[in-house]
Structure 1
Amino acid sequence: MLHLNVRDETSRLKAVLLGTAESPGPVPTPEEAYDPKSLEHILAGTYPREEDMVREMDAFAEVLMKYGVEVFRPEVLKDCNQIFSRDIAFVIEDKLIKANILPEREKEFEAILHVLDYIAPDCILSPPEEVHVEGGDVMPWNDHIFVGTYTGPDYPDYITARTNKAAVEYLKKQFPHKKVKAFELRKSNTNARENALHLDCCFQPVGRDRAILHKNGFLVEEEYEWLLNYFGKDKVFEIDREEMYQMFSNVFSISPEVIVSERSFTRLNDWLRSQGFTVEEIPYAEIGKQEGLLRCSTLPLIRE
């Protein structure tokens, strides 16, 4: 049995579900793009190739295993993009919550049923249909659960708006002892530099008390200021618009001391090392073309 336990973003990782880049299918048409960054690469003819993405994910798996993490993978579905396992479910404490994702991605969840067999059925929650939520928007952080959301009346017009108000209420109900804090994110279907697809595209805690943050990802300045004050200005690494676009905030913590990062993120990686972190650099830029990076590709199951 797997005894789920995730209380924050950085405690020592023991077990994780890592997505797979095998058999992602043909390059999507522009109409099939889920986000503006993928669309950009589809139109430019620079959409990532399967062999490059497989190589990048293998490098990630290797680092995880080097640190003794048990790595599960989804069953490979033919012609299906299964890289971003964070979208399909997430764990808070000892509960795995199934994400209500875009309907055409439902089969991705079925591809992890062999992992769910190791989890007690009463620890798996399926939110009601009106609750829209994806794991990239949900961050347990000690006594808080941070949630990225979009509650504008034009919510249905944004394929990039993935987590709604009902999700915030649902999490409050499921975890009444936690402070659920929601943040309104900036959305764009067409401009990747103006789109925070998920909360982890503009914010992520690292270590025990530090964070990476991008101001423009937040629609409400006070909410951004709240995070800045919560961590403290001197403990926050501010990223600019271009760095947000490159997914600088979407690194992944194996422990409070060890962070996996993209090898080209020089400014960030230098800062992390100056703060005493061990940075495991891997190539992940091809996967980044689909507006997701390291955190998006993982579904942590057990942290110590």
Structure 2
Amino acid sequence: MTTTSVHDAAVDQVWAMTTAHLHARALHVVADLGVADLIGDDPVPVSELAAACGVAHHSLGRVLRLLADLGVFRHGPAGVEHTAMSRLLRTDHAGSLRAFAQLMALDVVWHGVASLETAVRHGTTGIAEIAPNGLFDYLAEHPAQAQLFDNAMQAKARADVDAVIRAYDFSPFGTVADIGGGTGQLLNAILTRHRTVRGILFDLPHVIAQAGVDDAHLTTCAGDFFTDPLPAADLYLLMEVLHDWPDRGTTAILRGVRAACRTGAVVLVIESLPSDEHPDPRARTLDLLMLAVSGGQERSPSELDRLLTATGFRRTAVLDIAGPLRIAEAVAV
């Protein structure tokens, strides 16, 4: 490889990184407009898509041309048609990421990312200016955005849930409690697979109200894991919960679990858990998102160990599973 080709590749890569926010914004716009829902099996002219969305024809066309060059949609003489990537923006797709794309476009999230320098300079979140009490208090004051957040988290978890239940044997446990478990996707999947297990779903009251529980093996418990006692169980699930919080909040959650459980109970922390030894751009991207928006952190196993030890747990394993997440298993000591 010549010096010139190395230089050119580096220039192209840095140029792509410095303009990547435009790729993201283009995706956000078409997700919010619902463009993918307007395209079926046949190409649709841009003029028809623009009319259906109530937007400017030529402007939408330029956005779609960029996305097509990136593999999201295919743009041809007959109009715009789907690719595997664009189908993920359909609301009715089994693995739909439309809600997640819309979440990334929310004012509070985008402001946080745009204000990343504030977080770096002052050690605060990027959203501190518009959400001084933090992301979750902000969402509580904006129900429509909170609903979108919940929808996005459910959509994001679908593939991860399947990977978790295939990687871990839940059959030895009598009772499994999912702390901050949303509407119960993971817990329902576990109970479907293991009919001898009983489940307890713990989350905020407005989340529990949406859970729609119809399994006799599953009970719900509404509360705040910072202020309310947690239920007793043999196994506790914390799936992408701890990463939302700084060390102080994470420590409080783990202490709440330890206060509720017996010695020997098991906790599963299911998150990115990036390795200290290997590159993990996806996890590091999420880590900066946490820094900018929630004040949380994607912790490596060694960083998690420090918090587990301080709260009465000992890590026993880290399991690699299909997909981007890992499982840290810990036992109460």
Is TM > 0.5 for Structure 1 vs Structure 2? no
TM-score of the two chains, using structure 2 as the length reference: 0.27
TM-score of the two chains, using structure 1 as the length reference: 0.29
Q: Indicate the structure whose relative CO is greater, using CA pairs within 8 Å and at least 6 residues apart.
A: 1
Larger CA Rg, structure 1 vs 2: 2
